[in-house]
Amino acid sequence: MPQPSCRRCGTCCIKGGPSLHREDLPLVEEGRIRVQDLVCIRSGEMAYDPRRGGLQSVPRELVKIRGKGASWECVCYDRASSQCRIYAARPAECRALSCTDPAALYAVMEHPYATRFDLVPADSALGQCIAGHESLFPVLPALNLALEWVRSSAGPVPEELMDMVRGELHFRRAFAERVGSRDEDLWIYFGRPLWQVLAPTVPALEGYGTG
Ligand code: SF4
Ligand code: SF4
């Protein structure tokens, strides 16, 4: 809801929150955007690119304001009042967005993107957990395995893929328990659960880790 001409219909906020750029980092550092309201879109995940009008596999990780549960509706959007609850601290993409002229948004999208390691020092204990998770459970091989299975359209989900999904879920649950946090509040560090990332490709995984 950034431009004076904005009718505050909320459509853009309901479609999804913005990705953060380095210029947005002070908003997080000052606590104006909460860390638990962020999610990492890990390298290889599919994300909507308005410039191409479709889903693209992201070549490098992104930090976004997360959705509400499984939906992408921006967690900062309050439907009851049709308002952004961080309006004064909304990120650059939201400030630039005009649904009648996307040029300013596209210009901001050329600015350097924020990553997890802008928020967490790589040599800290948490930074090493992030790197360990990434090397054990990268998205791209799992997604390729899922796509290969879809192409062959045969039989049950391959055990190799299920091993990755189970192992990743175990990792994040163990970490959340150790630090006394909800998994969702850690999505900035480990992204969304692998089962959730893969579910649009492998519908059998829908709701897998919610039980
Ligand atoms: S920018 Fe456009 S889509 Fe977004 S809330 Fe305003 S009028 Fe609606
Ligand atoms: S941060 Fe605010 S303006 Fe931006 S998408 Fe979310 S609710 Fe909308």
Domain termination residue (choose one: 88, 118, 148): 118
Residue 4, domain member (yes or no):
no
**CA of residue 5 to ligand 1 center, whole Å:** 9
Are 21 and 89 within one domain? Answer: yes
Are 108 and 50 within one domain? Answer: yes
pLDDT tens digits for range 23-57: 999 999 999 999 999 999 999 999 888 888 888 88
Residue 75, domain member (yes or no):
yes
Residue 113, domain member (yes or no):
yes
For residue 117, give Cα distances in angstroms to 18, 69, 171, 182: 18, 24, 20, 21
Are 74 and 91 within one domain? Answer: yes
Are 79 and 132 within one domain? Answer: no
Is residue 145 lining ligand 1, measured as CB closer than 6 Å?
Answer: no
Are 143 and 183 within one domain? Answer: yes
Strands (E), 26-185: 38-41, 46-49, 54-57, 62-65, 77-78, 83-84
Are 92 and 177 within one domain? Answer: no
Looking at residues 13-22, what average pLDDT do you find?
A: 96
Measure the CA–CA gap between 49 and 56, rounded to whole angstroms.
7
Q: What is the mean pLDDT of the chain?
A: 93
Are 106 and 144 within one domain? Answer: no
- Which residue's CA is minimally distant from atom 4 of ligand 2? 94
Residue 5, domain member (yes or no):
no
Are 113 and 129 within one domain? Answer: no
- Which of these, 84, 48, 41, lies nearest to 62 by C-alpha position? 41
- The pTM assigned to this predicted structure is 0.92
Would you place residue 4 in the very low, low, confident or very high pLDDT band (cuts 50, 70, 90)?
A: low
Q: Which ligand is nearest to the CA of 11?
A: 1
Domain termination residue (choose one: 118, 147, 170): 118
What local confidence, expressed as pLDDT, does residue 3 receive? 63
pLDDT tens digits for range 166-211: 999 999 999 999 999 999 999 999 999 999 999 999 988 988 888 6
Residue 3, domain member (yes or no):
no
Fill in the DSSP letter of residue 201. Answer: T
Domain enclosing residue 111, as ranges: 11-118
Are 138 and 76 within one domain? Answer: no
Question: CA 115: distance to chain centroid?
Answer: 11
HSE, side-chain direction, 13 A CA sphere, residue 75: 18
| Domain count for the chain | 2
**CA of residue 211 to ligand 2 center, whole Å:** 30
Would you place residue 2 in the very low, low, confident or very high pLDDT band (cuts 50, 70, 90)?
A: very low
**Residue 52: both structure tokens together:** 């191409």
Is residue 15 lining ligand 1, measured as CB closer than 6 Å?
Answer: no
Looking at residues 152-164, what average pLDDT do you find?
A: 88
Measure the CA–CA gap between 144 and 80, rounded to whole angstroms.
40
